């Protein structure tokens, strides 16, 4: 991104105001606002042009090997704009390694890929592990009423268990009146023999 003479003047004035704040004229404020708007437009335009460049790169890569010359030019331009090669780029360059230009680009892309891998490993090693929950706190939370030990429930008393229902009283056999035991004759009464049928006299 290049600045013109007028833009550099406004930028120097804005830096001076940031380092030595004081009374600022309305003209300086307007100049700084216009410069900020210009920077925003330049950033948006750069993002749009980068998106077009990467879309063209994908199209040329998909049409290889017939578009090798155009693909090499687009890849070099993208690498100059801080583009990081993807596995598809490495695979395409390996397939064209017989071309000296492809071999040089492949070596450059491999170096950038290795740098990215090292940076990711270094960033992962610098990560601070999350503090583990002490075993005692884990056991407390797992028990009934352990939720009261959480930070949101601090100071609250654990809920009291519900009272158990009283067992049903069994009748005392000494006070319960006994029923008389039935005799076999009452349980199985004797059947009367059936009466003989009446004979009809002609």
In tens, the pLDDT along 89-115 reads: 999 999 998 999 999 999 999 999 999
For 162-192, write each residue's pLDDT tens digit: 666 666 566 555 555 556 666 666 656 666 6
Give whole-number Cα distances, 103 to 115, 117, 129, 202, in Å. Answer: 19, 21, 42, 137
Closest CA to 75 of 87, 94, 63, 61: 61
DSSP SS3 for 161: coil
pLDDT at 64: 93
Whether this model's pTM surpasses 0.85: no
State the average pLDDT for the chain. 75
Q: Which two tokens stand for residue 82?
A: 């801080």
pLDDT at 95: 94
Q: How long a stretch of residues is the chain?
A: 202
pLDDT at 147: 44
For 126-149, write each residue's pLDDT tens digit: 654 554 444 444 443 444 444 444
pLDDT at 7: 75
């Amino acid at each position: 991104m290049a600045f013109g003479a007028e833009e550099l003047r406004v930028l120097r004035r804005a830096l001076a105001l940031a380092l030595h704040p004081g009374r600022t004229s309305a003209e300086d404020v307007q100049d700084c606002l216009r410069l900020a708007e210009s920077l925003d437009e330049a950033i948006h335009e750069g993002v749009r042009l980068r998106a077009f460049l990467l879309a063209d790169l994908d199209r040329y890569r998909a049409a290889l090997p017939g578009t090798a010359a155009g693909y090499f030019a687009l890849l070099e331009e993208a690498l100059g704009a801080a583009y990081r090669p993807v596995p598809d780029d490495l695979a395409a360059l390996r397939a064209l390694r017989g071309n000296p230009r492809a071999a040089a680009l492949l070596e450059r892309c491999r170096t950038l890929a290795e740098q990215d891998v090292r940076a990711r490993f270094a960033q992962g090693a610098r990560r601070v592990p999350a503090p583990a929950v002490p075993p005692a706190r884990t056991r407390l939370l797992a028990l009934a009423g352990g939720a009261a030990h959480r930070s949101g429930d601090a100071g609250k008393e654990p809920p009291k268990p519900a009272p158990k229902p009283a067992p049903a009283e069994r009748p005392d056999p000494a006070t319960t009146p006994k029923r008389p035991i039935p005799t076999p004759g009452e349980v199985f009464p004797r059947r009367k023999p059936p009466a003989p049928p009446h004979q009809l006299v002609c």
